[in-house]
């Protein structure tokens, strides 16, 4: 037993040494760098959107740094981001937020991808009074908790597809419609569902299928079989990227005819590229589209952003990337207006944010959500085999008319 005790003492002292050597202190502002922290899903079920988010952040960091950086008290600073992989797991995300703040000394945070992970991180940033500008947590429950240090550049999730129901009702001559819906079991998708429930109530529509989809989403045949049987007017599906891909794949395989298909995450899933004509006529909610007429001096217009992004990363930017880039523009603006690195001064500056970016207008409501920007709807339209997302609502930016109803599969070539 004595030897074991010795072994233990060695072991414990090794750990102690390791821990002590770990505690090298970082600072919020290091030399000419302003260090931001972010836990992002690089692996796991949100990895594709996590990468979109990270690309958006990186693109903005590079651009802002190249164009002179952030000027605070007459000195130029550059942005730098410390990333960790949260593995698409809220538990890990909360732990990493703690780590970024306590061990890496980060004083300003960028959000993770998805509402669930933002929900896990927000209590931590709130506790340490760390301002967090997030671009991918849309669940409206984030904005009713009274968080003071949380700022979201996007519109709440319940607004995503409400407009789609209004459109369907309008096409139905103002009468209520029959809705079939299937949502992933996660914070974001369930919030989209709440929006639909509200819209259905408001328009006198009836929900005839209300299914839940598992988190590891790769099959929704059961829901689609029901849809085939009961023939709803609208089919609503939301389940991040996998939800959009699964829906299109199985709808085309099972030849499900439904007059209107409303979804989320079509652009993140690169639907028009991956599924081409099969995805035609899908109606998608989006926070942003490159054809919108917003502008700023860093990225120019949405179209220019899309072009630069394409050059850098090799694909068309989904809104997840655009809003992530916008988050950094917000931070830059806030730092310069605060003209200080005091967290509370920066936080107060964030509260007063009122600006236009290529991504849209940004102004934060009392709960921290962006109240200055509407959601848009686009529809996938094809010319030959070349498919594109065309904005159909709101009318201000609509480049195309909303095509309704979707032709039957037997009539589609």
Partner 1 sequence: MEKVKQKDLILYSGLIILGLAAPYLFSAFKVQLTYLCVLIVLAMTWNLQGGEMGYNTFGNILFYGLGMYLTASVQVGMFFPLAEWTESGGEKTFVHTTAQYFQGIGVGLLVAAIIPTIIAGAIGYAILGLRGHYFAICTLGLGIAAGEIAGGIEIIGAGQGFTTPPFPAEIVDAEARGKFFYFLSFVLLIGTFVFVKYIYGSRFRLILNAIRDNEDKAEAMGIQTMKYKIVGWMCSAFFCGLAGGIMGGLIGYIDSTDVAFDGREMGVFMVLMAILGGKGTLWGPVIGATLFHFFKEGLWTLILGWQYVALGVLIVVIVVYFPEGLMGWLREKYPERFGEVIDEKDRKAQVELK
DSSP classification of residue 403: P
* Element of type H or E holding 127: helix 115-127
Residue 326 CB, nearest distance to partner 1 (Å)? 24
Residue 154 CB, nearest distance to partner 1 (Å)? 16
Residue 91 CB, nearest distance to partner 1 (Å)? 5
By CB under 8 A, the residues from 28 to 67 that bind partner 1 are: 42-43
Residue 237 CB, nearest distance to partner 1 (Å)? 15
Are 45 and 312 in contact by the 8 Å Cβ rule? The answer is no
Site membership for partner 1, residue 129 (CB under 8 A)? yes
Nearer to partner 1, 69 or 195 (CB): 195
Site membership for partner 1, residue 8 (CB under 8 A)? yes
Residues in contact with 173: Cβ distance below 8 Å, sequence separation at least 6, in sequence order: none
Q: Which residue of 29, 33, 65, 126 would you call a contact of partner 1, by CB under 8 A?
A: 126
Q: Which residue of 66, 75, 76, 102 would you call a contact of partner 1, by CB under 8 A?
A: 102
Token representation of residue 37: 């922290």
Helices (H) and strands (E) counted in the chain, each on its own, are 12, 18
* Residue 374: CB atoms within 10 Å: 15
Site membership for partner 1, residue 202 (CB under 8 A)? no
Distance, in Å, from the CA atom of 348 to the CA atom of 357, rounded to the nearest integer, reads 20
Q: Where are the beta strands (DSSP E) in 43-74?
A: 70-72
Backbone angles phi, psi at 294, to 5 degrees: -75, 155
Distance between start and end Cα atoms, the chain: 79
Q: Which residue of 123, 204, 300, 394 would you call a contact of partner 1, by CB under 8 A?
A: 123
Q: Which of 260, 272, 197 has the alpha carbon at shortest distance from 406?
A: 260
Residues in contact with 397: Cβ distance below 8 Å, sequence separation at least 6, in sequence order: 289, 291, 292, 293, 376, 391
Site membership for partner 1, residue 186 (CB under 8 A)? yes
Site membership for partner 1, residue 77 (CB under 8 A)? no
> x/- contact string, 271-310, with partner 1 (CB under 8 A)?
----------------------------------------
Identify any residues that bridge with 180 across adjacent strands, giving them in sequence order: 209, 235
* Region of 81-89, 160-168, 284-292, 353-361 interacting with partner 1 (CB under 8 A): 81-89
Pairing of strands 75-85, 108-110: unpaired
Q: What angle do CA 231, 237, 241 make, to 5 degrees?
A: 145
Site membership for partner 1, residue 190 (CB under 8 A)? yes
Distance, in Å, from the CA atom of 286 to the CA atom of 135, rounded to the nearest integer, reads 13
Q: Which residue of 78, 171, 178, 212 would you call a contact of partner 1, by CB under 8 A?
A: 212
Q: Which of 263, 265, 359, 314 has the alpha carbon at shortest distance from 48?
A: 265
Residue 50: left (phi > 0), alpha (psi -120 to 50), or beta? alpha
Nearer to partner 1, 189 or 203 (CB): 189
> x/- contact string, 163-182, with partner 1 (CB under 8 A)?
--------------------
* Region of 63-71, 142-150, 267-275, 338-346 interacting with partner 1 (CB under 8 A): 142-150
Site membership for partner 1, residue 88 (CB under 8 A)? yes
Residue 173 CB, nearest distance to partner 1 (Å)? 31
Residues at the site binding partner 1, with contacts judged by CB under 8 A: 1-5, 7-9, 11-12, 15-16, 18-20, 22-23, 42-43, 83-85, 87-91, 94-95, 98-99, 102-103, 116, 119-120, 123-124, 126-129, 139-141, 144-146, 183-187, 189-191, 194, 212, 214-215
């Amino acid at each position: 037993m004595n030897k074991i005790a010795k072994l233990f003492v060695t072991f414990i002292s090794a750990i102690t040494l390791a821990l002590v050597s770990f505690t090298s202190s970082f600072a919020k502002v290091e030399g000419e760098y302003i260090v931001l922290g972010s836990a992002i899903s690089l692996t796991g079920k949100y990895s594709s959107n996590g990468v979109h988010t990270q690309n958006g952040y990186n693109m903005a960091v590079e651009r802002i740094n190249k164009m002179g950086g952030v000027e605070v008290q007459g000195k130029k600073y550059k942005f730098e981001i410390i990333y960790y992989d949260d593995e698409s797991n809220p538990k890990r995300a909360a732990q990493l937020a703690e780590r970024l703040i306590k061990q890496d000394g980060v004083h300003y945070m960028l959000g993770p991808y998805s509402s669930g992970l933002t929900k896990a991180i927000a209590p931590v940033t709130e506790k340490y009074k760390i301002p967090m500008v997030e671009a991918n947590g849309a669940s409206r429950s984030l904005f009713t908790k009274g968080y003071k240090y949380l700022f979201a550049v996007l519109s709440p999730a319940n607004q995503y597809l409400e407009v789609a129901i209004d459109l369907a009702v309008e096409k139905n001559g103002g009468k209520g419609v029959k809705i079939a819906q299937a949502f992933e079991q996660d914070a974001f998708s369930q919030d989209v569902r709440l929006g639909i429930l509200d819209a259905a109530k408001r328009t006198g529509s009836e929900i005839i299928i209300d299914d839940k989809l598992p988190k590891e989403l790769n099959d929704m045949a059961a829901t689609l079989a029901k849809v085939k049987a009961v023939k709803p007017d609208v089919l609503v599906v939301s389940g991040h990227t996998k939800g959009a891909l699964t829906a299109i794949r199985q709808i085309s395989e099972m030849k499900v005819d439904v007059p209107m298909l409303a979804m989320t995450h079509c652009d993140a899933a690169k639907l028009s590229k991956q599924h081409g004509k099969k995805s035609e006529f899908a109606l998608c909610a989006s926070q942003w589209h490159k054809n919108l007429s917003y502008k700023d001096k860093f990225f120019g217009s949405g179209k220019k952003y899309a072009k630069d992004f394409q050059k850098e990363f090799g694909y068309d930017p989904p809104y997840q990337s655009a809003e992530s880039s916008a988050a950094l523009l917000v931070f830059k603006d806030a730092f310069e207006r605060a003209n200080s690195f005091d967290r509370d001064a920066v936080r107060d500056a964030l509260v007063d944010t009122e600006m236009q970016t290529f991504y849209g207008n940004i102004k934060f409501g009392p709960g921290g959500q962006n109240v200055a920007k509407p959601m848009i709807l686009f529809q996938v339209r094809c010319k030959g085999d070349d498919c594109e997302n065309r904005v159909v609502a709101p009318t201000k930016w609509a480049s195309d008319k909303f095509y309704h109803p979707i032709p039957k599969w037997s009539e589609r070539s």
